[in-house]
A and B are shown apart, each in its own frame.
Chain A
Amino acid sequence: NAGVTQTPKFRVLKTGQSMTLLCAQDMNHEYMYWYRQDPGMGLRLIHYSVGEGTTAKGEVPDGYNVSRLKKQNFLLGLESAAPSQTSVYFCASSFTRELPLYEQYFGPGTRLTVT
């Protein structure tokens, strides 16, 4: 049981390049989330998904797209990377849709630098 895994762990991109971050969980969780964390800003929600085939926007969705084609995977795409997207990206998942939301399990993070 690996929990939540993220690929890759580190990446350096040039401005304008594209890439996809992969998040996978093996806990059969319904909910999955993508956050970014910048110094002094806490964790900010980019997009999230409440089930396979569904996605919703978070606080800072601009410049990112997501897909949840399989329940266990949640992909975050950057179509044209910008230096403002330099950040640490965390994926998380949680089990239930019942009230209240259960604890979120976080992946180890992906450190992305855009030059």
Chain B
Amino acid sequence: EDKVVQSPLSLVVHEGDTVTLNCSYEVTNFRSLLWYKQEKKAPTFLFMLTSSGIEKKSGRLSSILDKKELFSILNITATQTGDSAVYLCAVEAYQGETSGSRLTFGEGTQLTVNP
């Protein structure tokens, strides 16, 4: 059974702090790892990672994947109150020719950034 574990489950920081969110996984036939941000509605896509050691960056957010140790981290520097959200990690695994691929999500990390 595919498994994705995120830590911490909850994090409270002050504006300007830097945070690191963790995602470890055990899946069969790994294809990619994705990060999403979820505020009070549907998740929105942040990054997709397929190769080890290559950092993806978007503004103050960055992410990297380690396929050998089976984990990824999401970094947010100089946090702002608008970064408050649940951050979801998902891993794509191939199920076979007829079933294609599907995502398994972690529980999410609830990040709260206080002014």
Q: Which residues of A approach B to under 8 Å, CB–CB?
A: 31, 33, 35, 40-45, 48, 50, 54, 56, 58-59, 90, 97, 99-109
Contact = CB atoms under 8 A, between A and B. Distances in A.
Contacts of A107: 42
Nearest to B4: A42
B100 A31 contact: yes
A101 B106 contact: no
Contacts of A90: 42-43
- Chain B interface size, under 10 / 10 to 19 / 20 to 34 / 35 or more: 20 to 34
A1 to B, nearest CB: 16
B42 A40 contact: no
A45 B106 CA distance: 12
Contacts of B105: 35, 42-45
Contacts, number: 68
A103 B45 contact: yes
Main secondary structure of the interface of B (DSSP, over half): strand
Main secondary structure of the interface of A (DSSP, over half): loop
Contacts of A102: 48
B58 interface: no
17 contacts: A31-B100, A33-B102, A42-B4, A43-B43, A50-B100, A56-B99, A99-B31, A99-B94, A100-B32, A101-B92, A101-B101, A102-B48, A103-B34, A103-B48, A108-B41, A108-B42, A109-B41
Nearest to A31: B100
A94 to B, nearest CB: 9
Nearest to A49: B100
Query: Which residue, B4, B34, B48, B101, has most C-beta atoms of chain A within 10 A?
Result: B101
Query: Which residue, B31, B43, B50, B106, has most C-beta atoms of chain A within 10 A?
Result: B43
Contacts of A44: 105
A25 to B, nearest CB: 13
B103 A101 contact: yes
A50 B31 CA distance: 16
B50 A100 contact: yes
